[in-house]
Structure 1
Amino acid sequence: MLQLPKSPPRMKTLVSVDESYQLCRHITEKYAKTFYLGTLLMSAAKRRAIWAIYAWCRRTDELVDGPASALTTPETLDLWEQHLESIFAGHPLENFDVALLDTLQRYPIDIQPFRDMIAGQRMDLYRSRYETFEELYLYCYRVAGTVGLMSTAVMGLDTTTNTAPWHQHKQPYIPTEEAIALGIAMQLNNILRDVGEDARRGRIYIPLEDLARFNYTEQDFFKGVVDDRWRSLMRFQIDRAHQFYTKAEQGITYLAPDARWPVWTASMLYGQILGVIERNNYDVFSQRAYVPQWKKLRALPLAWMRSQVL
């Protein structure tokens, strides 16, 4: 269980900045292969920063979904938030923190999205159902939309559109809502991909109002029933995810030019998972949808072209 000292900790020897970034790279490559591929298209500085952010997010998620999650309590998350505040105050406590602190010093990242993500993990401690999509949206924002906000600060904005004299005092558009939409789209992706795994944990992330809309029951869900009702329900969920992807992609053009290709790539690769679910006849109970590496690589040229013209 996570434990933090009650008094300010004495300095202990931690790894170097470069070593810490390597730790973050390893955890990103191991647990987020599609996401990791997108980071390789970024500049060295930006990719390292994204690795540091991902590593923190992964460690946060592990508190409620990892091997020791049964030991996690609200107090555990309180301590984790104190740990976060220590990093933002310039006092890393663990080896992974060294890279995140360096990232915070390089990019204008606000602490609130990190706090919001911890609030999302709190929801997983006491909720295993969501009645409406509005309730699920809040959860998705907290555990994934926040990542969009963290990442946008690293990606940077395109300032070249405001170089004309009459635009000199015009602030560049910040695609905040679009960044949140991309995170939510990816989380909806994860929910649909992980239906079987979540069912075995007794969790239903698809809104109960949607199950009722298609006359599909919780008993059907836990039995893994795949019939016309389920397929119609899944098509409805996939259409919703696509709507968020569409909204997110409208904001990519406002990002710094060197960030557009990796963001387009991440969006397209995650979207491919939805296509695999469809080709699997919507059976996400006994099959886990994944995109082969060769198909991921095949998407890169199209993502690059979109980054240049859209």
Structure 2
Amino acid sequence: MASKLFDPQTRDRAWLLYAWCRACDDIADGQDHGHGMTRLSDGPERIARIRALTADALAGKATGEPAFDALGLVAAECGIPHWLPFDVIDGFALDGEGWSPRTADDLLRYCYHVAGAVGVMMAIVMGVPAGDEATLDRACDLGLAFQLANIARDLSEDDAVGRCYLPAEWLAELDVPPGEHMRPAHRAGLVSLARLLTDQAARYEASARIGAYALPFRARWAVLAAADIYGGIGRAVAQAGAHAWDHRVSTSKWSKLAAVFRAWRLARQAAPDPLPPRPDTLWTRPRR
């Protein structure tokens, strides 16, 4: 929905980048367009294939895989640093290894790899210079917000395939044994942990909204719409409480349209002068 708000060239490039992200995710998790995630026994081999195809695409070689060729095209056109796609692949590798976070910092580092780095690449596609670290930090924040909301929403689905993104130290504080967080006896604690995730998502979303003012109008409109739409998932999880995992939380067509209209009004407003600094309390992506 939000991508339709971009100017045509930016929209096409965003779709090319998304095609690569989607293909990598499908290969890594054995999915079909984001559906049907399963337990896999050949995770490392799948990641090796993703790395090889990505390296060839970034080197300008035809891979025979349209989604990877798409990455090579958009990276060359927009000047995306080649280490960024490999940062994303490092996140898929963590999943392939059966990784789980021990601390909150571990969780945020994972969110950077699978979503924050994508936000950085998207900002470059929108015209942000690769050296504009302040704006790219805000773009990363939007990716972090999206992934934290994703994790809160998908706790049950992830548990079904043996994954848990709740930090071990959080679970230990509530005396929840590893792998048992979805049991009914722990539902009250799970609600409090999901609220931690959605509260963090809201803080990173707020930071990202400030960064949107560095973008051209249509890109700013699209980013603010995406923040509102995806932020709605986190807010819905928090509001549902113990029932958040009875069914997969989603947003309706009408709520998306309302978010697009709210974003249009915000995008037309003048940027705050001066822009507030990014809070020091927020986790910051790694520098290269």
TM-score tier by shorter-chain length is 0.7 to 0.9
Amino acid at match of 1:121: F
Three-state SS of the structure 2 residue aligned to 1:250 is helix
Separation in 1, partners of 2:21, 2:53:
13
Could you tell which deviates more after superposition, 121-130 or 53-62? 121-130
CA distance in 2: counterparts of 1:110 and 1:69, whole angstroms:
32
Q: Supply the AA of the counterpart residue of 2:85.
A: F
- 1:178–1:250 contact (8 Å) kept in structure 2: yes
Q: CA deviation at 1:48?
A: 0.9
Q: Which of 7, 10, 13 does residue 49 from structure 1 map onto?
A: 13
Q: Report Cα offsets for 1:258-298 as digits up to 9, x if no partner.
A: 21000000111000012211332243332211111111111
- CA distance in structure 2 between the aligned counterparts of 1:200 and 1:172, rounded to whole angstroms: 40
* Paired AA for residue 70 in structure 1: L
Separation in 2, partners of 1:95, 1:65: 19
Which residue type is aligned with residue 59 of structure 2? Answer: A
Does the residue aligned with 1:63 lie in a helix, a strand or coil? helix
Counterpart for residue 166 of structure 2: 206
Once the 2 structures are TM-superposed, how far is the Cα of residue 219 of structure 1 from its aligned partner?
Answer: 5.7
User: Aligned partners of 2:16, 2:99: CA distance in 1, in Å?
Assistant: 29
Q: C-alpha distance in 2, partners of 1:60/1:73?
A: 12
Give the CA RMSD over aligned residues: 2.2
Correspondence list, 1:1-310, <5 A: 37-67=1-31, 70=40, 72-93=42-63, 94-157=65-128, 174-218=134-178, 220-225=180-185, 227-309=187-269, 310=271
237-246 or 63-72, larger mean C-alpha shift: 63-72
C-alpha displacement of 1:79: 3.0
State the AA in 2 paired with 1:296.
K
Structure 1 pair 146–69 and aligned structure 2 pair: CA distance change class (3 A): farther
Give the superposition deviation at 1:222.
3.3
1:103-152: CA deviation from partner (whole Å, max 9, x where unpaired): 23321211111001111111112234211111111111111111011101
The code of the aligned residue for 1:65 comes to D
User: Structure 1 residues 219, 97: CA separation in 2 closer, same or farther (over 3 Å shift)?
Assistant: closer
- Structure 1 residues 231 and 75, CA gap change in structure 2 (3 angstroms): closer
TM-score, with structure 2 as normaliser: 0.83
What number of residue pairs does the alignment pair up? 262
**Cα separation, 2, equivalents of 1:219 and 1:110:** 38
Would the aligned equivalents of 1:52 and 1:100 in 2 still touch at CA under 8 Å?
yes
Could you tell me which amino acid in structure 1 is paired with residue 77 of structure 2?
R
Deviations 1:4-35 (A, max 9, x none): xxxxxxxxxxxxxxxxxxxxxxxxxxxxxxxx
- Give the letter aligned to residue 117 of structure 1: V
Q: After superposition, give the CA deviation of every residue in 1:186-243 in whole Å (9 maximum; x if it has no partner).
A: 0111101111101111211111212233444446413244643332222222111111
Give the letter aligned to residue 129 of structure 1. Answer: S
Q: TM-score, normalised by structure 1?
A: 0.78
Calculate percent identity across the aligned residue pairs.
30
The one-letter code sitting in structure 1 at the alignment partner of 2:44 is: P
Rounded to whole Å, the distance in 2 between the matches of 1:69 and 1:229 is: 26
CA contact (8 A) 1:199 1:222 kept: yes
Change in 2 beyond 3 A, CA 1:103/1:200: same
Deviations 1:140-187 (A, max 9, x none): 1111111011101111149xxxxxxxxxxxx97751111111111101
Relative to structure 1, is the Cα distance of residues 281 and 79 closer, same or farther in structure 2, using a 3 angstrom cutoff?
A: closer
Encode CA deviations 1:35-66: one digit per residue, 9 max, x unaligned.
xx111000111111111111111111122222
Of the two, which has the highest radius of gyration? 1
Separation of aligned partners in 2, 1:117 and 1:224: 34
Q: Please tell me whether the aligned partners of residues 53 and 100 of structure 1 are also in contact (alpha carbons under 8 angstroms).
A: yes
User: Structure 1 residues 96 and 203, CA, compared in 2 at 3 Å: closer, same or farther?
Assistant: closer
Unmatched tracts of structure 1, length 5 or more: 1-36, 159-170
The aligned counterpart of 1:11 is none
Change (3 A) 1:260 1:218: same
Aligned mates of 1:95, 1:212 — CA distance in 2: 45
